[in-house]
């Protein structure tokens, strides 16, 4: 489906990202790179139906040439989910083989997605310039590409009433909450469960991150 939008707002976000300087090796840097503005030119030019009709007329057949034009592309979040799942790419190409990436990626307890959301993001209350999420789960992988072991960090916490309203009624939260939901973190490895500190969780080599909506 092709929609005609205001060109001035097509690449606008809920929060200004022009002054962002995300630290390399952080989840913010990953999101910033994933949602960066890309220029489509040369072999990546965009097929333009309007330009084609302008040059060859509306009765253009399949045998005629098509017109390609330079364009801009940006992937932004158009619908803020109740549960945010971030999957980190933990492998890289090394010749003809794949190599696991063991580098630590920094991630926060509370993350703001507003700089990565379109200015017309659905289920965000009008006037809000923050889209906050609180961390409640982490999956970690130890080992190599051929073998290894998965463990998890899970937060036992209080009921998130705003999240319930969003899931059950589809209503965006109105109250401002900027703090992570209180609770106790546990490390789970098969049948072994142990209480751990927040700092232990934030120092893990995350493979999957699970956040729940606050605002």
Q: Would you state the pLDDT for residue 160?
A: 67
The residue ranges of every structural domain in the chain are 78-213
Q: In terms of C-beta density within 10 A (0-12 exposed, 13-18 middle, 19 or more buried), how is residue 51 classed? A: middle
Q: Would you state the pLDDT for residue 60?
A: 59
The CATH number of the domain covering residues in 78-213: 3.90.70.10
Q: Would you state the pLDDT for residue 1?
A: 46
Which ranges of the chain have pLDDT less than 70? 1-8, 58-64, 160-178
Could you tell me how far CA 20 lies from the centroid of its own chain? 16
pTM exceeds cut of 0.85: no
């Amino acid at each position: 489906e092709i929609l005609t939008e205001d060109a001035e707002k097509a690449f606008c976000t809920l929060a200004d990202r022009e002054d962002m300087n995300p630290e390399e090796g952080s989840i913010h840097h990953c999101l910033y790179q994933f949602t960066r503005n890309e220029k489509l030119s040369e072999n990546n030019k965009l097929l333009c139906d309007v330009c084609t009709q302008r040059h060859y007329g509306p009765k253009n057949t399949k045998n005629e040439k098509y017109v390609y034009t330079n364009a801009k592309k940006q992937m932004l979040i158009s619908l803020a989910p109740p549960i945010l799942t971030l999957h980190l790419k933990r492998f890289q190409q090394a010749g003809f083989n794949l190599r696991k990436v063991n580098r630590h990626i920094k991630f926060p307890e509370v993350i703001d997605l507003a700089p990565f959301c379109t200015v017309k993001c659905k289920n965000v209350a009008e006037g809000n310039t923050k889209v906050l999420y609180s961390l409640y789960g982490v999956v970690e992988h130890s080992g190599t590409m051929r073998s290894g072991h998965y463990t998890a960090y899970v937060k036992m916490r209080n009921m998130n009433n705003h999240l319930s309203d969003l899931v059950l009624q589809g209503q965006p939260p109105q109250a401002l909450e900027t703090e992570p939901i209180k609770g106790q973190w546990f490390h789970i490895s098969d049948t072994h469960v142990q209480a751990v500190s927040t700092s232990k969780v934030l120092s893990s080599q995350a493979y999957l991150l699970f956040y729940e909506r606050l605002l």
